[in-house]
């Protein structure tokens, strides 16, 4: 039975944060913060906690292209070391999270006028896949016969198509990978809570007092609006695009921002499945755009990737956001851009705003080019992808990074923390499996599926060992095996599980991130009252809370879709 990770756990953890001195406090519950707290917990000898101002992965870490990839474009730019490291991290994630991280063939389409010739792309793809030690079936191929291409990819445009190159990367539910990483840290003893906001630093420790250096910060429980202090020997800001918000409160803040917003906003849309499923799998498509070239700019790449429940995820943009970070959403122009590019590739489909199932946006934590010249670095190092440094006051900041390399970034961070804390270092994150890493569906499970009419394969792939907790719920109450609606595969027991073992606090947590019901046709709006009432009864919410949860989710979806 998995360890409880619920709203009750959250309350207990807040009490611990109020009363106990931590060795390390991580601020930020996205994928990078999750990687750091997991590494700290698995290392041993370090009392660590993490706070997140919203829900886990509620920022950039649930708004990616859902890819674990090596960065093929860096091959074309000859940044080989970066690609090698990313390919290595992909291998690790495939090994430690096989239920979540799945290999996917990507077809790189090559049309007349694209910036790279097909032969050059083929050579680069062959080298790209040779960097990975994964299954030998992951071999790059070039296909020039347009009829064969359509057999694999579906009714794509072929009039000026020169061919395509197939290489292999992986796809993942980014929010779930973040959550499972945090749950593993919780199971190893880390003190983790969502909906706790960092407010300010209370003190600046004496730099000369290395032995008893302690930071105190003020934080706020977003649910109860109560403020309290947290004490820790080291503070790590892993807040992604919110990093400058913490930096501005730093006692050593010098008035210079460390991040940039230009080309930082990324938008995706979710459409009905565009391609087809071939006997070698469901392909993702990669294509160079035309809109920029028509305006005298350079073409960029967009992905058309298979999503859950027979959908396609299309993205992303690289635009400058004019909104506050918490208010980032797709604009009408960005949506029109993605639709037009998808329509160009699939000319026989009717792709307009009515076809959009969902849309989302996120902000990348792009590092300002002047951070070294401004004297930001006290101790640290820079890579193309991320920066790990300490401010003069001793607060550690993690800048940049991405989904694929979060574990490596965390390992480098904890290396330095362990040295600073004079603790033995034992990194286990590259071998220790995540909680979802369970085996194939057994005969026993298959029998239980037949008896209980459960979609065992789906439940195990999504919840891993949590499947057995879901089974226990159903054993105690068989009505929990009922679907929440005939048109969707989700059952009542898994909704209950997200509250009991995934620290879902709000209806939005459950519908948008834990289950992705918000990414299905209708986005769950028609069944929100039934779900809200069911969860309210099971979680002892009063009617006012139930009504508020339902309306808050509806308003969130209305706001997110305002420009569609």
Residue 331, domain CATH = 3.30.9.10
Q: What is the pLDDT of residues 47-60, one digit of tens each?
A: 999 999 999 999 99
- Quote the tokens at residue 464: 């891993």
Say whether both 156 and 282 belong to one domain: yes
Buried b vs exposed e over 166-189: b needs ≥16 C-beta within 10 Å?
bbbbbbbbbbbbbbbbbbbbbebe
Would the pLDDT of 7 be above 70?
yes
Final residue in a domain of this structure, among 347, 363, 379: 363
**Token pair 């005969």: residue:** 443
* Assigned domain for 80 exists: no
Q: Would you state the pLDDT for residue 380? A: 41
Say whether both 386 and 448 belong to one domain: no
Q: What is the pLDDT confidence band of residue 473, given thresholds at 50, 70 and 90?
A: very high
| Helix ranges, 248-320 (H) | 291-294
- Quote the tokens at residue 401: 């990074």
Say whether both 146 and 291 belong to one domain: yes
Say whether both 268 and 228 belong to one domain: no
* Assigned domain for 72 exists: no
311 neighbors 270 (Cβ within 8 angstroms): yes
Residues paired with 196 in a beta bridge = 221
CATH code, domain with 537: 1.10.8
Identify which has the larger pLDDT, 81 or 296. Answer: 81
**Token pair 């057994």: residue:** 442
- CA distances (Å), 259 to each of 95, 213, 370, 397, 451, in order? 33, 28, 10, 12, 55
Q: What is the pLDDT confidence band of residue 74, given thresholds at 50, 70 and 90?
A: confident
Say whether both 162 and 267 belong to one domain: yes
What domain count does the chain have? 3
Say whether both 239 and 204 belong to one domain: yes
Q: What is the pLDDT of residues 323-359, one digit of tens each?
A: 788 889 999 999 999 999 999 999 999 999 999 999 9
- CA distances (Å), 439 to each of 6, 100, 430, 475, 561, in order? 25, 12, 18, 22, 39
Q: Would you state the pLDDT for residue 386? A: 85
Quote the CA–CA distance of 217 and 229 in Å, as a whole number.
6
Q: Would you state the pLDDT for residue 450? A: 40
Angle, CA 67 vertex, CA 63 and CA 72 arms, to 5°: 125
Region of 154 on the Ramachandran plot (φ > 0 left; ψ -120 to 50 alpha; else beta): left
- CA distances (Å), 57 to each of 2, 4, 178, 180, in order? 21, 19, 6, 11
Say whether both 179 and 118 belong to one domain: no
Say whether both 226 and 184 belong to one domain: yes
Say whether both 464 and 554 belong to one domain: yes
Final residue in a domain of this structure, among 316, 339, 363: 363
Q: What is the pLDDT of residues 288-304, one digit of tens each?
A: 998 776 656 678 899 99
CATH code, domain with 30: 3.50.50.60
Q: Using a cut of 0.85, tell me whether the model's pTM lies above it.
A: yes
Q: What is the mean pLDDT of residues 19-34?
A: 98
Expressed as residue numbers, the domain containing 459 is 443-560
* Assigned domain for 90 exists: no
Say whether both 463 and 548 belong to one domain: yes
Q: Smallest Cα–Cα separation from 243: which of 220, 259, 265, 266?
A: 259
3-class secondary-structure state, position 51: strand
- Sign of the dihedral defined by the CA atoms of residues 486, 488, 494, 499, in that order: negative
* Assigned domain for 91 exists: no
Would the pLDDT of 448 be above 50?
no
Cα 272 from chain centroid (whole Å): 22
Q: Would you state the pLDDT for residue 209? A: 61
| Structure-derived torsion over alpha carbons of residues 96, 99, 105, 108, reported in degrees to the nearest 10 | -80
- Beta strands (DSSP E) in 283-343 are 284-288, 301-307, 311-315
Quote the CA–CA distance of 349 and 563 in Å, as a whole number.
22
Would the pLDDT of 447 be above 50?
no
* Assigned domain for 184 exists: yes
Lowest mean pLDDT of 35-39, 121-125, 331-335, 543-547, name the range.
Answer: 121-125
C-beta neighbour count of 15 within 10 angstroms: 11
Q: What is the pLDDT of residues 354-398, one digit of tens each?
A: 999 999 999 998 887 655 434 444 444 334 478 899 999 999 999
* Assigned domain for 301 exists: yes
Final residue in a domain of this structure, among 322, 339, 363: 363
* Assigned domain for 71 exists: no
110 neighbors 121 (Cβ within 8 angstroms): yes
- Quote the tokens at residue 176: 């779930």
* Assigned domain for 69 exists: no
Burial bucket for residue 481 (CB in 10 Å: 0-12, 13-18, 19+): middle
Region of 90 on the Ramachandran plot (φ > 0 left; ψ -120 to 50 alpha; else beta): alpha
Angle, CA 59 vertex, CA 216 and CA 532 arms, to 5°: 105
Q: Would you state the pLDDT for residue 81? A: 81
Q: Which residues contact 409 (CB under 8 A, 6 or more apart)?
A: 32, 35, 36, 385, 386, 388, 398, 401
Say whether both 448 and 555 belong to one domain: yes
Say whether both 496 and 548 belong to one domain: yes
Q: Smallest Cα–Cα separation from 563: which of 301, 305, 338, 303?
A: 338
């Amino acid at each position: 039975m998995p360890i409880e990770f619920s709203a009750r756990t959250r309350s207990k953890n807040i009490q611990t944060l109020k009363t106990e001195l931590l060795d390390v406090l991580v601020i930020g519950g996205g994928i990078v913060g999750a990687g750091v707290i997991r590494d700290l917990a698995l290392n041993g000898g370090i009392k660590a906690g993490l706070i997140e101002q919203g829900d886990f992965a509620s920022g950039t870490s649930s708004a990616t292209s859902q890819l674990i990839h090596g960065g093929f474009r860096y091959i074309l730019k000859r940044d080989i070391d970066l690609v090698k490291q990313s390919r290595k991290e992909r291998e690790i994630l495939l090994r430690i999270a096989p239920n979540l991280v799945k290999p996917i063939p990507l077809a790189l389409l090559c049309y007349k006028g694209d910036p790279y010739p097909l032969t050059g792309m083929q050579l680069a793809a062959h080298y790209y896949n040779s960097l990975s030690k994964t299954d030998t079936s992951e071999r790059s191929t070039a296909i020039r016969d347009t009829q064969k291409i359509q057999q694999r990819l579906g009714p794509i445009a072929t009039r000026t198509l020169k061919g395509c190159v197939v290489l292999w990367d992986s796809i993942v539910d980014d929010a779930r990978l973040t959550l499972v990483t945090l749950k593993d840290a919780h199971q190893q003893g880390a003190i983790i809570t969502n909906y706790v906001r960092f407010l300010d630093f209370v003190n600046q420790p004496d730099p000369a007092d290395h032995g008893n250096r302690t930071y105190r910060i003020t934080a706020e429980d977003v649910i109860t609006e109560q403020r309290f202090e947290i004490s820790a020997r080291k503070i790590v800001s892993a807040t992604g695009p919110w990093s400058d918000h913490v930096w501005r409160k730093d006692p050593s803040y010098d008035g210079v921002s460390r991040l940039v917003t230009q080309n930082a906003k990324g938008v995706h849309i979710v459409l009905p499945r565009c391609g087809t499923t071939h006997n070698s799998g469901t392909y993702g498509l990669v294509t160079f755009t035309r809109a920029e070239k028509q305006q005298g700019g350079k073409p960029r790449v967009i992905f058309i990737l298979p999503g859950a429940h027979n959908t396609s995820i299309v993205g992303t943009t690289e635009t400058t956001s004019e909104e506050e970070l918490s208010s980032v959403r797709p604009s009408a122009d960005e949506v029109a851009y993605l639709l037009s590019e998808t329509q160009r590739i699939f000319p026989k489909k009717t792709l307009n705003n009515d076809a959009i199932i969902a849309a989302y946006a996120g902000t990348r934590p792009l590092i300002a080019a002047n951070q070294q010249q401004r004297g930001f670095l006290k101790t640290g190092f820079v890579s193309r992808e991320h920066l790990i440094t300490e401010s003069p006051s001793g607060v550690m900041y993690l800048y940049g990074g991405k989904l694929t390399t979060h574990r490596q970034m965390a390992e480098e961070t904890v290396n330095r923390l362990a040295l600073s804390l004079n603790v033995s270092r034992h990194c286990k994150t590259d071998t220790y499996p995540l909680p979802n890493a369970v085996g194939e569906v057994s005969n026993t499970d298959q029998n239980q599926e037949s008896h209980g009419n459960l979609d065992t394969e789906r439940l195990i792939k999504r919840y891993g060992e949590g499947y057995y907790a879901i089974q226990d719920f159903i054993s105690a109450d068989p009505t929990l095996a009922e679907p929440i609606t005939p048109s969707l595969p989700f059952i009542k027991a898994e909704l209950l599980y997200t509250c009991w073992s995934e620290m879902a606090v709000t209806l939005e947590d459950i519908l948008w991130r834990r289950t992705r019901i918000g990414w299905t046709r209708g986005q769950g709006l028609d069944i929100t009252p039934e779900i809200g009432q069911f969860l309210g009864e099971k979680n002892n919410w009063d009617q006012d809370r139930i009504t508020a949860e339902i309306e808050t989710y509806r308003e969130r979806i209305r706001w997110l879709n305002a420009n569609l």
